[in-house]
Amino acid sequence: MAYKVMFISLGCAKNLVDSEKMLEILAGYGFEFTEAPSEADAVVVNTCTFIDEAKSESIENILEAASFKKPENGRLKALIVAGCMVERYKETLYDEIPEIDAVVGLASIQDIAAVILWVLEGNKKIMLADIPMVRVMRPKSKAASANYIEANEELSAPRFSLTPPFWSYLKIADGCDNPCSFCVIPKIRGKFKSVPIDILLSRAKRLASDGVKEINIIAQDSTNYGRDIYGKTRLAELIEKIADIDDIKWVRLLYTYPLHVTDQLIDVIAGNPKVCKYIDVPLQHVSDNLLGAMKRGMNYKKTAAFVEKLREKIPGVCIRTSFIIGHPGETEEDNDQLIEFLEKYKIEKAGFFRYSQEEGTPAASYEKQVSEKVKMRRLKKVSVAYDRVLKDINKSLIGKEFEYMIEDYDEESGMLTARSYREAPDVDGYVSIAAESARYLVPGTFINAKIVKTKKFELYAEAV
Ligand code: SF4
């Protein structure tokens, strides 16, 4: 009888891609999957540890899974923790949570099946390096070989997707070389490492042949793509080549770094009809004071000029960004300047995060830490101001027509849920569309619709 694995994937899109890789490997080894922890022989928690809230969520999931080790609750024998939390806390995880049987670091995700089997065979408390790999059961398919990550681009290898069949992420690099003061990612994921362009193109072709219509490009800093292996950035070229693939309809660029966005890249976004007029570019703040302290290589003037350039060169561009509230040294004036910026530049999609003091980062030891109470107050102030901006933006969209990818049909409202180039999957929500025979329209197909009303922050459209 095959062993059953329950897999919990937490955190960002980049972690989700790692989860997909692990699931493909486990499927190749003949593991079965379950969503019921009481039926699982093994649980894998692929963790996130970006900020405090992510850490708590990871710990809660690990502890909840651990409770299924009690015989009255299930038959769980192997509790495996993978992902960013392992990189950061591998020394203490075992001590803090004795139910954990094994930890799998980011460089070892291809060994996930071996680790589970090792534990299920009765071996306990191991770090990945302790496993003699010769004891590992032979993989059932090529996809599960130890070289899987480099070799899995053959079209015959099974693909395991945690996203709907019609869109996917494509992770083009891992790690980060940027010096952002608040960020622990370079410590966790190491130096920036690009995936060679030919591997990415075969992956993209394979996604297209599997029915994927929209590819979302991700990395810690996608705009740095290629510098480590080609000595120069090749992101614009990569995007054009992916857009050339026949069945791909949309290519969307996520996780860019403002300082690294080149004119060539802007021209590709503006000029290639298959590239979404959308850019995800975390600005983090706008004030000179904060951007300097954050070591972002930007200031207010450069940030404003950058946004103006995007607006001028890419008509209709939709800018998605995020801001950190309460970074050490932030003043009331900095917060007000951010609000003015949002009002002036009418940023279409903005997320706001409370600064989290992450050990091992430069900002953690900065003086002038901002108290939680002040952070909360400023977060509220900026969120309320941004809600007004968002309402204005939504009102200005009424009467506008866009092409939408159908995601689903909502039984309750009788409407389609769909996304245009303006809505990235997972983060930007959906537009509700009324259409004739909506129930029979197939997810992953495209439809044109005109926005007819906005309610709270939701948009409603009618098929045209
Ligand atoms: S660009 Fe900055 S914030 Fe983003 S992953 Fe790299 S160091 Fe972290």
Return the domain boundaries, the chain: 4-150, 159-396, 401-463
Ligand 1 center from residue 359 Cα (angstroms): 15
Ligand 1 center from residue 304 Cα (angstroms): 20
* Res 145 pLDDT > 50: no
Pocket probe for ligand 1: among 50, 87, 172, 176, the residue whose CB has the most ligand atoms within 8 Å is 176
The residue whose C-alpha atom lies closest to atom 5 belonging to ligand 1 is: 220
Decide which of 323 and 135 is more confident.
323
Average pLDDT over residues 199-205: 95
In which band, very low, low, confident or very high, does the pLDDT at 125 lie, cut at 50, 70 and 90? low
Looking at residue 121, what is its pLDDT?
Answer: 82
Looking at residue 131, what is its pLDDT?
Answer: 42
88 Cβ contact partners less than 8 Å away, ≥ 6 residues apart: 49, 184, 187, 188
401 forms bridges with which residues in the sheet? 450
The mean pLDDT value of the chain amounts to 90
Please give the CATH topology (third level) of the domain spanning 159-396.
Answer: pyruvate-formate lyase- activating enzyme (3.80.30)
Ligand 1 center from residue 220 Cα (angstroms): 6
Ligand 1 center from residue 255 Cα (angstroms): 9
- Using the atom order of ligand 1, give the atom closest to the CA of residue 284: 3
pLDDT > 90 in the chain, percent: 72
Cα–Cα distance, 390 to 454 (Å, whole number):
11
Looking at residue 149, what is its pLDDT?
Answer: 39
Ligand 1 center from residue 338 Cα (angstroms): 20
**Nearest CA among 349, 226, 363 for reference residue 283:** 349
- Using the atom order of ligand 1, give the atom closest to the CA of residue 186: 7
Ligand 1 center from residue 247 Cα (angstroms): 32
**Nearest CA among 169, 244, 138, 225 for reference residue 19:** 169
Map residue 357 onto helix, strand or coil: coil
Whether residue 220 has its Cβ less than 6 Å from ligand 1? yes
The residue whose C-alpha atom lies closest to atom 4 belonging to ligand 1 is: 220
Whether residue 182 has its Cβ less than 6 Å from ligand 1? no
The residue whose C-alpha atom lies closest to atom 8 belonging to ligand 1 is: 183
Map residue 340 onto helix, strand or coil: helix
Pairing of strands 193-194, 173-174: antiparallel
Whether residue 20 has its Cβ less than 6 Å from ligand 1? no
Looking at residue 158, what is its pLDDT?
Answer: 59
Ligand 1 center from residue 358 Cα (angstroms): 13
Looking at residue 138, what is its pLDDT?
Answer: 32
Burial class (CB in 10 A: 0-12, 13-18, 19+), 303: buried
In this prediction the pTM is 0.85
Ligand 1 center from residue 47 Cα (angstroms): 18
Question: What's the pLDDT tens digit per position in 68-80?
Answer: 988 888 899 999 9
Q: How far is CA 411 from the centre of its chain?
A: 29
Q: Tell me 284's DSSP state.
A: B
The residue whose C-alpha atom lies closest to atom 2 belonging to ligand 1 is: 180
Question: What's the pLDDT tens digit per position in 404-425?
Answer: 999 999 999 999 999 999 999 9
Q: Across the chain, which distance is largest between two alpha carbons, in Å? A: 64
450 forms bridges with which residues in the sheet? 401, 462
In which band, very low, low, confident or very high, does the pLDDT at 85 lie, cut at 50, 70 and 90? confident
Looking at residue 400, what is its pLDDT?
Answer: 98
Residue 417, H or E segment:
strand 415-419
Q: What single string gives the DSSP state of each residue in 1-59?
A: ---EEEEEE-SSHHHHHHHHHHHHHHHHTT-EE-S-GGG-SEEEEEE--SSHHHHHHHH
Token match 């994927």: residue? 212
**Nearest CA among 13, 347, 351, 386 for reference residue 172:** 13
Whether residue 183 has its Cβ less than 6 Å from ligand 1? yes
Read off φ and ψ for residue 200, nearest 5 degrees. -65, -40
Cα–Cα distance, 104 to 112 (Å, whole number):
7
In which band, very low, low, confident or very high, does the pLDDT at 34 lie, cut at 50, 70 and 90? very high
Whether residue 185 has its Cβ less than 6 Å from ligand 1? yes
In which band, very low, low, confident or very high, does the pLDDT at 124 lie, cut at 50, 70 and 90? low
What would the two tokens of residue 203 be?
Answer: 């992956």
Whether residue 178 has its Cβ less than 6 Å from ligand 1? yes
Burial class (CB in 10 A: 0-12, 13-18, 19+), 204: buried
* Res 461 pLDDT > 60: yes
What would the two tokens of residue 193 be?
Answer: 């490492």
Looking at residue 137, what is its pLDDT?
Answer: 32
Q: Are 215 and 240 contacting, i.e. CB atoms less than 8 angstroms apart?
A: no
What would the two tokens of residue 1 be?
Answer: 């009888």
Domain 4-150 matches domain 159-396 at the CATH topology level: no
Ligand 1 center from residue 180 Cα (angstroms): 6
Please tell me which of 22-31, 55-64, 125-134, 306-315 the model is most confident about, judged by mean pLDDT: 306-315
The string over 266-297, giving b where at least 16 C-beta atoms fall within 10 Å of a residue's C-beta and e elsewhere, is bebbbebebbbbbbbbbbbbbbbbbbebbebe
Looking at residue 123, what is its pLDDT?
Answer: 63
Whether residue 186 has its Cβ less than 6 Å from ligand 1? yes
Q: Are 82 and 109 contacting, i.e. CB atoms less than 8 angstroms apart?
A: yes
Looking at residue 127, what is its pLDDT?
Answer: 54
Q: Are 136 and 144 contacting, i.e. CB atoms less than 8 angstroms apart?
A: no
Whether residue 180 has its Cβ less than 6 Å from ligand 1? yes
* Res 159 pLDDT > 70: no
Domain 4-150: what homologous superfamily? Methylthiotransferase, N-terminal domain (3.40.50.12160)
Average pLDDT over residues 15-30: 89
* Res 351 pLDDT > 80: yes
* Res 150 pLDDT > 90: no
Whether residue 176 has its Cβ less than 6 Å from ligand 1? yes
Whether residue 221 has its Cβ less than 6 Å from ligand 1? yes
Question: What's the pLDDT tens digit per position in 205-257?
Answer: 999 999 999 999 999 999 999 999 999 999 999 999 999 999 999 999 999 99
Question: What's the pLDDT tens digit per position in 251-278?
Answer: 999 999 999 999 999 999 999 999 999 9
Spelled out in words, what is the top-level CATH class assigned to the domain 401-463? Answer: mainly beta
Cα–Cα distance, 150 to 354 (Å, whole number):
38
Q: Are 212 and 177 contacting, i.e. CB atoms less than 8 angstroms apart?
A: no
* Res 141 pLDDT > 80: no
Cα–Cα distance, 452 to 438 (Å, whole number):
17
Pocket probe for ligand 1: among 178, 324, 327, 355, the residue whose CB has the most ligand atoms within 8 Å is 178
* Res 97 pLDDT > 50: yes
pLDDT > 70 in the chain, percent: 92
